[in-house]
Structure 1
Amino acid sequence: MDEFESLSAHMKALHQNIKELEGLAGYASHYTARVPNDYHHFVTKYPADKFYLEFPEIFRMFNLDLLESSLVRLWAMYLVRETRENKDLANVGIADPYHMHYNNLSSDGGKELILRECIFPALQNNKDKKYILVPYNPTGHWVLIILMVSECKAFYLDSLKNNAPKRDYEVLSNILNDALFEHSFKGGIVKKKNKGPARFKHYTEVSCTQQQDSVSCGYYLCYHMEIFVRRHRHLNKGVDIQLFGTHMESNPFDRKTEFTRIQDIFARIINTEVASESGVFYGGDDSPEVHDSRTKSAATHLNKHA
């Protein structure tokens, strides 16, 4: 009871709503979220147009345990809405993390999915943005990639950079380069320093806030995404992003305060935008049969337990 009383109002409301729904016979134990039709750079064809927030996933979020890919995608959608509603945040685009998983790098078909359905649409539909944030999951861990598209620079923020073997980004970097070349060929503005094809310069050792455990990378990803969106106006050059990362890593990080705040935002989004029929991410009330069919289909595209 003491733990429940310490929850925020949004967390209490979400907890109580889930418990009520779990008590209904035949309920599928999930919320259905929908990608808005005007999120043109997100994957919106079946089965990616809707996705499920399973109640066990939400309770893991309550306990600051593993943050599932479905919640990371919801966070990305939330930040897209924030950048659209606040003109001070409008210079940042957010890529859809739906296919951004290491499993998709092992085959030509998977690489094509990342290129055609995630990276290239993010570049083409955000031509007016200075930055594109790309959540990426290599080998069961979340990393944030910040693209300065016009400057042809890519910055990799890894919350386990100091406590894990150096990651191999060669395949992904080639996909990003291919997307940039096609983007420039189709009207995207890039400032090349040579006459060859447009290519990103990849900075894979950028400093950022570091995690001290093996399961909280999703929360650090959400934190890095949001803090960059809120403060990007002060970052005009590539060196500013590197200094920004160094500042984050070298300054004290109040993990409990920041993660509790992120939990509260998740609870508010789910309560008002997913569970409510008037919410922008409301996906309806799928039956258990539809839920099972869609989940099996989606599993061929995305490893949910990332």
Structure 2
Amino acid sequence: MMKVQECRKKGIYNIGFIDPHVVKEESVRKWPNRTKNIIFTAMDRQHACTFILLPYNFDFHWILISIEIDRSRVVVFDSLRRPKEDYQSLIDILQSAWARFIHNHIGVATPPSDLYIKTDFPCFRQKQETNLCSYYVCEHIQDFCSSTKRMTQQQFDIWCMKEDLIKPERIRAIQESLCGFLLDEVINRKGEFYSDQRISVGRLDRNNRGGDNNDDDY
């Protein structure tokens, strides 16, 4: 949500997103057809984007999926390098959505073929028995959104070597970014995502915020 807003404000239009609250392990397992339609719609509406990013959680582990339509491939950023079989159900749905997409968008993939799933792309690695996977997903999304150009493989290899260690400054930068977003856009009454919970549960009259409230439960 924060990065969608940031890209919109900065005029970064080559990055698209799929909501991880909509495409998740439960939806993949229980509603595969609905999930396929959601992914197809995301591809269809964001087909001009260089990257379509999907943070995905399965078995209490986060990975980042990057759909690259112009390359007919999906890149998996997994800090633990879990076996692809662990999220094969999602891959199958992606392939099904892709087949429908290239049928509707003739010429995107010539000749038509399945998505190439790249799981060995160099990325940050976390130590075993740590729970830093969500941090690494945030790091990757941050780097996608901080540059409008696609890195070459060589540039990315060099970048990974330089950033091999988690520096406290990088962690603080993400913390400050999240805190700033919450303060400015969620807690602030003028923020885009502000929600008055008293209104949502019907305890406050929208037309009389400053007036008396006679609800004994309030």
TM tier, smaller: 0.7 to 0.9
Q: From 32, 43, 48, give the equivalent of 1:123.
A: 43
1:133·1:146 contact (CA, 8 Å) conserved in 2?
A: yes
1:229 aligns with 2:153: no
Higher-Rg member (1/2): 2
1:263 aligns with 2:180: no
DSSP-derived class of the 2:117 partner: strand
Report the CA distance shift for 1:243/1:98 in structure 2 as closer, same or farther (over 3 A).
farther
Structure 2 equivalent of residue 10 of structure 1: none
Select the structure with the greater relative contact order (CA < 8 A; seq sep ≥ 6): 1
1:202 aligns with 2:117: yes
Shift of 1:189: 6.0
2:56·2:62 contact (CA, 8 Å) conserved in 1?
A: yes
Query: How far apart in 1 are the matches of 2:134 and 2:60?
Result: 10
Query: How far apart in 1 are the matches of 2:186 and 2:28?
Result: 31
Query: How far apart in 1 are the matches of 2:150 and 2:172?
Result: 26
Q: Which runs of 5+ in 1 are unaligned?
A: 1-76, 291-306
DSSP-derived class of the 2:147 partner: helix
Q: Which runs of 5+ in 2 are unaligned?
A: 203-218
Mapping for residues 109-120 of structure 1, pairs under 5 Å: 109=31, 111-117=32-38, 119-120=39-40
Query: How far apart in 2 are the matches of 1:112 and 1:257?
Result: 43
Structure 1 equivalent of residue 184 of structure 2: 272
Structure 1 equivalent of residue 56 of structure 2: 136
1:100 aligns with 2:20: no
Aligned residues: 199
Report the CA distance shift for 1:141/1:188 in structure 2 as closer, same or farther (over 3 A).
farther
1:216 aligns with 2:132: yes
Cα-to-partner distance string for 1:129-183 (whole Å, 9 max, x where unaligned)? 121111111211110111111221110011112xxx5231322112111222222
Structure 1 equivalent of residue 67 of structure 2: 147
Q: From 181, 200, 213, give the equivalent of 2:99.
A: 181
1:127·1:188 contact (CA, 8 Å) conserved in 2?
A: no
Query: How far apart in 1 are the matches of 2:88 and 2:135?
Result: 25
DSSP-derived class of the 2:47 partner: coil
DSSP-derived class of the 2:53 partner: strand
Shift of 1:280: 1.1
1:132·1:147 contact (CA, 8 Å) conserved in 2?
A: yes
Structure 1 equivalent of residue 210 of structure 2: none
Report the CA distance shift for 1:283/1:289 in structure 2 as closer, same or farther (over 3 A).
closer
Report the CA distance shift for 1:284/1:188 in structure 2 as closer, same or farther (over 3 A).
farther
Query: How far apart in 1 are the matches of 2:154 and 2:42?
Result: 26
Shift of 1:279: 0.8
Report the CA distance shift for 1:211/1:248 in structure 2 as closer, same or farther (over 3 A).
farther
Shift of 1:287: 6.4
Cα-to-partner distance string for 1:92-148 (whole Å, 9 max, x where unaligned)? 1111111333233333x2x2232223x222212212212111111121111011111
Structure 1 equivalent of residue 161 of structure 2: 250
Query: How far apart in 2 are the matches of 1:225 and 1:172?
Result: 20
Report the CA distance shift for 1:254/1:243 in structure 2 as closer, same or farther (over 3 A).
same
Shift of 1:272: 0.7
Report the CA distance shift for 1:215/1:176 in structure 2 as closer, same or farther (over 3 A).
same
